[in-house]
Amino acid sequence: MDNFESRLVPVLRQGVAVVQMVFFKRLKEYLGEKYPGQEAMFINNLAGAVVNDIFGTPNEEKPFLLFAEENGAPIEKTLKDIPLKLVDMMVPLTDALRVQVLCDHQEGIDSFPILARANELKILLVPREIPMPSNFITLVRALGNKHDILMPPEIRQLDS
């Protein structure tokens, strides 16, 4: 990996994290409306489990593993609802997942099954082209600004 790539991968990973944060926020809003009587902790845990499932980053701590075990049905239902109920997140999710897999590939990690799972869930917009780094960062900036999520300095400065 050359010097440019070694600086670019962490910035792109921060962009993926911003998309995850925005998605988590949007998912909590949606789940709060879907389960109006539920406690905030349930909504947070459900949103977190769904985000972790999509991005292939399960939380290995016991309370979260237990929550995922006990709430498999609502997690699966929410995963199936995403392309229908959170349409505005489809492009950012598709781009972030593809960028994550590309970054993983640069670091010798095979995370292609994450894309296969997203495709199976109809979250991955297959006809969409793989984003160029500058286009992805532009999307991340716009998304973060729209949802009042502060951008890491590296993302704010890239291409400025």
- Residue 154 within any structural domain of the chain: no
Residue 4 has pLDDT above 60, yes or no: no
**Predicted confidence band of residue 17 (pLDDT cuts 50, 70, 90):** very high
- Residue 105 within any structural domain of the chain: yes
* Mean pLDDT for the stretch of residues 53-69: 94
The per-residue pLDDT for 152 is 63
Say if CB 123 and CB 82 are below 8 A apart. yes
Tokens of 159: 């291409």
Number of domains observed in the structure of the chain = 1
- Residue 158 within any structural domain of the chain: no
N-terminal to C-terminal alpha carbon distance within the chain: 24
- Residue 156 within any structural domain of the chain: no
- Residue 23 within any structural domain of the chain: yes
Convert the pLDDT of each residue in 87-135 to its tens digit.
999 999 999 999 999 999 999 999 999 999 999 999 999 998 888 999 9
CA atoms within 13 A on the CB side of 100: 23
- Residue 160 within any structural domain of the chain: no
Domain residue limits at 119: 3-149
The per-residue pLDDT for 160 is 43
- Residue 71 within any structural domain of the chain: yes
**Predicted confidence band of residue 7 (pLDDT cuts 50, 70, 90):** confident
Residue with tokens 């991955």: 124
Residue 2 has pLDDT above 90, yes or no: no
Residues 6+ apart with CB under 8 A from 71: 45, 46, 49
Three-state secondary structure of 76-91? HHHHHHHHHHCHHHHH
User: What CA–CA distance (Å, rounded) separates 16 from 14?
Assistant: 5
The answer to whether the pTM exceeds 0.85 is yes
- What percentage of the chain has pLDDT greater than the value 70? 91
- Residue 21 within any structural domain of the chain: yes
What average pLDDT does the structure give for the chain?
91
**Predicted confidence band of residue 6 (pLDDT cuts 50, 70, 90):** confident
Q: Does residue 121 sit in helix, strand or coil? A: coil
